[in-house]
Structure 1
């Protein structure tokens, strides 16, 4: 048995709806600007191939847990997203085979230090500090799913007021296309999570805000910023 100079980190995992077993998380990939109105909101209007960024697995926040307002920002934003949970591995996967790789779906929020993102974009620097910080990925339990992906309402409310609302069917790149494109850049493996992009209406959060999000048929999440 290998020995370590200190205890290795615990395996990050997410609950599975209605089951005792948990979904072990390997890594988190995220798609940027995948709803047309949000793309226009952020200064674009095209259908370029989807671009990806990453968050560390330990950025996940367990369902119902509070989220600490992060350091080094004065402009924290919410971005509600459908999460794809990968259950089978593969590389260079064809679009018509991509659904076979999916274990299920969850609801997630891509929390963003928008001021740091804007500064990085202006200097053409990476986004890690804006996207991959501690507790930047609250999520709901994973729901097992077979067949066609969710297409219904996706929404987030802050203190009871709806801030983002759309339908998943509005995505520029659909779920099979996203999985296929990701598999061209990485060998996907069981435990990978893919955040699939957010609709228009992203906006700020402050300490004390109560946040609720949902994707129709998939689930709901709730957290408070503290």
Structure 2
């Protein structure tokens, strides 16, 4: 496995994201805690790596950051058992699930898909690839996010509702998981709006940090 996640961003075929996987985040948005994983897809075209800015999508007036642990799949599988799920993990990545919250709110009211709210270009910034053997326990990692140096999110993966093996098993019943696919495992509370010129920083324990600038769609700050 390459240590450069840019390779995964180039060849990964899909991003399977999990919504409302932290109770505190569900509560802050007034959402019910799901009984089964709430899944949505982000296209591979939403990937960016450090050095490329996050672009506010056209017409969006409420863009939110969501810091997340991403699970990088290393072995193809369908109907994977929980007991063997971790054998399909190549490693991890620190990611942002950027969300056009105004688009999402409209979609929720209408009962329509979240594709534009979650899958626009630059909506999945990612950091470096972290090999699986570098992480002692993926279910006990601090996640934090700052905007312009101010701490906004500070959570821990131990608070996920659905564990990584459960998510892999559940998702693989519906989507064949392939090498370089990513599962975004949800975000803790503290999401907030960002605007052009803002700088988003994130961290995953002592394993990784990321930094991305937010610009308007034309590329200006």
CA-to-aligned-CA distance 1:42-78 (integer Å, 9 cap, x gap): 2234341101101110110112322222212100000
Instruction: State how 1:1-226 maps to structure 2 within 5 Å.
Output: 16-17=2-3, 22-23=7-8, 24-146=11-133, 148-226=137-215
- Does the 8 A contact of 1:150 with 1:218 survive in 2? no
Alpha-carbon distance in 2 for matches of 1:138, 1:217 = 19
Deviates more, 1:64-73 or 1:34-43: 64-73
CA-to-aligned-CA distance 1:170-226 (integer Å, 9 cap, x gap): 100111111111101111111111111000111100011011001114311111112
Deviates more, 1:145-154 or 1:165-174: 145-154
- The number of aligned residues is 211
State the TM-score, normalizing by the size of structure 1.
0.88
Secondary structure of the corresponding residue to residue 43 of structure 1: coil
Higher Cα Rg: structure 1 or 2?
Answer: 1
State the TM-score, normalizing by the size of structure 2.
0.90
Q: Which runs of 5+ in 1 are unaligned?
A: 1-14
Structure 1 vs Structure 2 CA RMSD: 1.8
Alpha-carbon distance in 1 for matches of 2:80, 2:200 = 36
Q: Which structure dedicates a bigger proportion of its chain to helix?
A: 2
Q: Which runs of 5+ in 2 are unaligned?
A: 216-221
